[in-house]
Structures are given as structure tokens and as C-alpha cells.
Amino acid sequence: MKDRLPSPFFLLLQETGALAERRHVRVHAVGGFVRDLLLGIPNLDLDLVVEGDGIRFAKAVARRYQARVTTHERFGTVVVTFADGHTFDVATARTESYDSPAALPTVQRSSIKQDVRRRDFTINTLAIRLNTPRFGELVDSHGGRRDLQDKTIRVLHGLSFIDDPTRVFRAIRYEQRLGFQLDWNTAVLMTEAVRMGLVHRLSPSRLSAELLHVLSEREPVKTLARLADFNLLQFIHPRLKWSSGLAQLLNAVEKAVAWHAGLSLGRLTSPWVVYGMALLDPLPQPVVQETLARLTFPRRQAQSLLWVSQENARLLPTVTRTVKPSETFRALCHLPDETLVFLRAKTRSARAKQNISDMFTVYRRVRPILTGNDLKAMGLKPGPSYNKILNRLLDARLNGAVETEADEHRLVHRLAKRC
């Protein structure tokens, strides 16, 4: 741990363990943090499980570091937020039972060994003791270490996917992200769960959350292809089918997202949306509308997805045809980066690709020399005509029709006469 973690973080774990010992509770780091630590993958997303009162312990840690706590009494969980914005989760060790398949579980307090029994896969059941005398000891009650070494995704029991069908998506995400393989029996159980239509029992918000996680993976295309192998696209919409066309478009999106990242214009706010646009692309527009109405994606992104499905057939020919930079600019200037990146991936026209690239790298940076203040100084009466004139100035500059400030002055005089 000492070698693989930043030293302040390691120190925090040690101090947390010492505090736990003093307060007579047992504390463990669990889940993805431990899995990734053993795999050598950087991950400071810390989940602690407390045998005892997790909420009280989290509050004691927060006092010690002047951190904030957000408590979810019902689940016995707390988010601790440090002054630098870093957070970690603290939970009370608990057991969960499912009253009916795919429902949310009922919860009771328990020990770490019982707690990890409710987890999805053996590789996520590993825990590390933090209490002082046994700090750093691995608790491996389900063969998680062996499965990490064998690169295997394995459920803990035969009813796992029935208890929670979201695990079908989680299994595929881990398999593809980590380059692991599904254990044979786990794959059989998954196929069976899909055949039984268990995924249909998930609420739209749980299904949407899973889909969003898939689309947000670092390499979502192979993860989506794997969902298709397991016939899981049908749960997004029965008409959604994997095809070579869809695979091509998704690969083009992957390249376009990488191209955008290379421009150093800052990151896309929601790269997942670009993959979402590609995924929904084969579907007719009313079907996309119906699908988005059912799923519960964040509003702004859902609107972009819908807009693209309605408008890309109209917009792409325009961007292919446009010759003047101002025409390209006007056609694209209101669109979010995600949409532009998608259109760049979707078009086969070299001209359209170039136009969209120019939008990012050239057109958006162009400004006329003269401003509203200059128009005022030239004696023009402030009003709606200012906007018109400034827009025409910008168009002229984009098209190279004006070069100097004097050119702009002349153009303003001409335009002012007409306004």
C-alpha cells in the first residue's frame, strides 16, 4: 500500500485505523479501491466499512480532519468531504435481503465477512483491515485474490443476477475494462438471466444509470459490442440491433473523441453522449424519442441526443455543401461540442469533416476588431441594429472580406445606411 498510494493518502488510512482502534470499532477498506490497489490501477475512490456505528465513526473522522459529512441514515452510509474536495464513503457493515427480484434490498447491521457477501463479484469482496495492530491485512473470504490473479469475473452465488439484474451490465463492464474473462458458470447464469427477461424488471432509472456507466467507460465500444453478444441491446429498445454499420460509426466516434482530446481545447463535458448519439443512430427518429422518454438521462444531454436524431439528416448536407466559412459557422455555432464531434464522426464527406474541424480550431476564435462601443463612438444609435451589424462584421471577417480596421469601418458605414 505504501508503495502504491500517495503518502498523504496512506497516512490518512493509517490514522483512520488508529482512530478506529481507540473508538473500539473495526474499519476496513473494501471494494473497487482494494481490487484496483492489488491490480496496480490508480484509484483513490475509498469505501470504508465499519463493524459498529459507521455514521458515528465517520463523524469522528470528519471532526479530526475538519471535513464535512452527508449522512444517509436509512442505509447507514456517510460521505465524508475533505477541504480539498476529496471524498470517501463510510458504511456500516450490513446484510441485505431481497424481498422480490430486482427490488431494492432490506438492510441489517453485521460483520465485514457478512457485508461482502452481498457484493456482485468475488474480485469486489476483498477488504483490507485498517485497525492499527493488523493494519494492511487482506480479508479474502470468497477467493477474490485468486480470481484477480486468474483474471476472472465470478458471481458469489447462483441467484446473484436474479437478486440484481444490473450485475449483468456490471460484469461486462469489469470484463472489458480489466481485460478479464467471465467465469463459465457466471456466463451461463447471465445468459439465463437475459433469456428470462430479468432486465425488463429494472426500473427505467436503474437501467439508465447502467447504460450511462457503460457509455462512460474509457473504451465503451468494446463494452457495447459485448452487451450485444449477450443480447442486451434489446432492453434499450427491441429494435436496436448490432450491425457492422453501427460498429463502424462507434469506432469513428472513438477516433473523433480522441481527435477532440488532442486539440487541447479542454475536455468534452459528457463524452458518453457522443457514444449515445451513435448507439441511437440506427433507430428511426420516433423510436429514439420513445426511448429517451423512457430512459432517465440527464435533461440537457437527453435533449442533445434527441436533437441529433431529429436534425442530423438536415444538417450534414448543409455542412457538406457550405463553402463560405460564415455559412458553416452559422449552421454550427449553437451546437454543443459533443454534437459537433458526433457529426464529424458520422459524415463521410471530407469537406464536412474539414468544416467541422475549422469550426473548433479557427472559426470560434475569430472576432471583429470593432465592438459595440466603437459603433457608439461612430455615432450609431444603440438598438437591435447593433447585433445585425456586428454579426455581418463577424461574417465578413470569417470570409476574409475584411482585413484591417479601416475595412471594418467602411463596412459598418455601408451597413448602417441600410439598417
Q: How many Å apart are CA 220 and CA 177, to the nearest integer?
A: 9
- Interface with ligand ATP by CB under 6 A: which range of 6-14, 63-71, 165-173, 380-388? 165-173
Angle value at C-alpha 342, between 223 and 347, nearest 5 degrees: 115
Q: Smaller CB distance to ligand ATP: residue 176 or 355? A: 176
Residues 91-120 that bind ligand ATP (CB under 6 A): 119-120
Q: Residue for cell digits 447462483?
A: 158
Is the separation of the CB atoms in 279 and 250 below 8 Å? yes
Q: Binding to ligand ATP by residue 219, rule CB under 6 A?
A: no
Q: Smaller CB distance to ligand ATP: residue 153 or 253? A: 153
Q: Smaller CB distance to ligand ATP: residue 125 or 309? A: 125
Give the per-residue contact string, 43-62, with ligand ATP (x = CB under 6 A; - = no): --x-x---------------
Q: Which of 166, 309, 326, 355 binds ligand ATP (CB under 6 A)?
A: 166
Helices 204-215 and 166-178: angle between axes, nearest 10 degrees: 10
- In the bound complex, what is the minimum distance in angstroms from residue 228's beta carbon to ligand ATP? 21
- Residue partners of 390: CB distance under 8 A and separation at least 6: 368, 370, 371, 372, 375
- In the bound complex, what is the minimum distance in angstroms from residue 35's beta carbon to ligand ATP? 6
- Interface with ligand ATP by CB under 6 A: which range of 162-170, 235-243, 308-316, 347-355? 162-170
The 3 state secondary structure assigned to 101-140 is CCCCCEEEECCHHHHHCCCCEHHHCCEEECCHHHCCCEEC
Q: Which of 31, 76, 271, 276 binds ligand ATP (CB under 6 A)?
A: 31
In the chain, the amino acid numbered 382 is P
Q: How many Å apart are CA 340 and CA 347, to the nearest integer?
A: 11
- In the bound complex, what is the minimum distance in angstroms from residue 41's beta carbon to ligand ATP? 9
Angle value at C-alpha 295, between 290 and 301, nearest 5 degrees: 95
Beta bridge partners of 65: none
Quickly count: other Cβ atoms within 10 Å of residue 67's Cβ.
19
Q: Which of 21, 32, 145, 290 binds ligand ATP (CB under 6 A)?
A: 32
Specify the 3-state DSSP secondary structure of 414. helix
Q: Binding to ligand ATP by residue 368, rule CB under 6 A?
A: no
**Phi/psi of residue 28, each to 5°?**
-130, 145
- In the bound complex, what is the minimum distance in angstroms from residue 271's beta carbon to ligand ATP? 16
By beta-carbon distance, which residue lies closest to ligand ATP? 32
**Phi/psi of residue 157, each to 5°?**
-160, 165
- In the bound complex, what is the minimum distance in angstroms from residue 34's beta carbon to ligand ATP? 8
Q: Smaller CB distance to ligand ATP: residue 119 or 397? A: 119
Q: Smaller CB distance to ligand ATP: residue 51 or 163? A: 163
Q: Which of 124, 131, 304, 322 binds ligand ATP (CB under 6 A)?
A: 124
Q: Smaller CB distance to ligand ATP: residue 58 or 380? A: 58
Count of residues that bind ligand ATP according to CB under 6 A: 11
Q: Binding to ligand ATP by residue 164, rule CB under 6 A?
A: yes
**Phi/psi of residue 129, each to 5°?**
-70, 140
- In the bound complex, what is the minimum distance in angstroms from residue 47's beta carbon to ligand ATP? 6
* DSSP states along 161-214: HHH-THHHHHHHHHHHHHT-EE-HHHHHHHHHHHHTTGGGGS-HHHHHHHHHHH
The site for ligand ATP (CB under 6 A) is made up of 31-32, 45, 47, 119-120, 124, 164, 166-167, 170
